[in-house]
């Protein structure tokens, strides 16, 4: 068990550019979640997948945000036409059917800075 | 969605037992109570989950009274390394079509342990 990994750990981009983040969940976990966290706030849920199916995406912040999980393995979160308000930590988590309902394992996050 | 209320911050000393209480007056029959811990620049870490009465694991205990309108996370003999933000989440399973409201973290309780 190598844990949840995220890449890159830090991303600096200019306003208007597109960015894509990758998350590799724990290998036997079938559920994957994306969150955004800003300073002083708790993680804000964005979307989640069960295997390759995206079961909840209404919380994505705008139509500039999209996520995929091809083949039910790794996932990507893309933000198009970034804005300064998108600067935040983006967290990925995964969980298994065999664990507690909300026993999620979080990755280290990708810190996005939009200049 | 059962909204939660936690103290914003708490202080204690090494070796003491710390109890953090979360109020959730509108908790529903199918809701579970989950606690997470988060250190700076890291993703949250699952601590414990319960439905009623008392749950104990190797790091904490969770006390839930009969009316389930509150819960208390108990950390025995804290150390400096327990300084972190603690989040209480209350909701039913999102995997049965009920949406993902349970994946909403509040602002949490910032616990500071002093020598």
- What DSSP line would sit under A17-28, residue for residue? --EEEEEE--TT
Pull the structure tokens for residue B37.
């811990």
Integer Cα distance of A112 and A89 in angstroms: 6
Distance from CA of A89 to the nearest CA of B (A): 9
* B87 vs A contacts (CB less than 8 Å): 42
Integer Cα distance of A31 and B49 in angstroms: 18
Mean pLDDT by 10 residues, chain B (115 residues): 85 97 90 93 92 94 96 96 94 58 80 97
Which of residues 46 through 105 in chain B touch A, CB cutoff 8 A? 46, 49, 85, 87, 89, 91, 93-95, 99-100, 102-105
Integer Cα distance of B56 and A113 in angstroms: 40
Q: What is the pLDDT of residues A20-76, one digit of tens each?
A: 999 999 998 989 999 999 998 999 889 989 888 888 777 777 899 999 998 888 999
CB contact under 8 A, B102 and A102: yes
């Amino acid at each position: 068990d190598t844990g949840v990994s995220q890449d890159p750990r830090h991303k600096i981009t200019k306003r208007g550019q597109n960015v894509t983040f990758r998350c590799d969940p724990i290998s036997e976990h079938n559920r994957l979640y994306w969150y955004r966290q800003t300073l002083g706030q708790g993680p804000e849920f964005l979307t989640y997948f069960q295997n390759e199916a995206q079961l909840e995406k209404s919380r994505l912040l705008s139509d500039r945000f999209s996520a995929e999980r091809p083949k039910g393995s790794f996932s990507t979160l893309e933000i198009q036409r970034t804005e300064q308000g998108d600067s935040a930590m983006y967290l990925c988590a995964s969980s298994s059917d065999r664990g507690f309902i909300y026993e999620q394992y979080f990755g280290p996050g990708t810190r996005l800075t939009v200049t | 969605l059962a909204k939660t209320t936690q103290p914003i911050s708490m202080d204690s000393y090494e070796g003491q037992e710390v109890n953090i209480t979360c109020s959730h007056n509108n908790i529903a029959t199918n809701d579970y109570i989950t606690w997470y811990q988060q250190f700076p620049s890291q993703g949250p870490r699952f601590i414990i989950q319960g439905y009623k009465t008392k749950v104990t694991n190797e790091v904490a205990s969770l006390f839930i009274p009969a009316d389930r309108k509150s819960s208390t996370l108990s950390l025995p003999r804290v150390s400096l390394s327990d300084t972190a933000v603690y989040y209480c989440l209350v909701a039913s399973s999102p995997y049965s079509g009920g949406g993902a409201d349970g994946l909403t973290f509040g602002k949490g309780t910032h616990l500071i342990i002093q020598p």
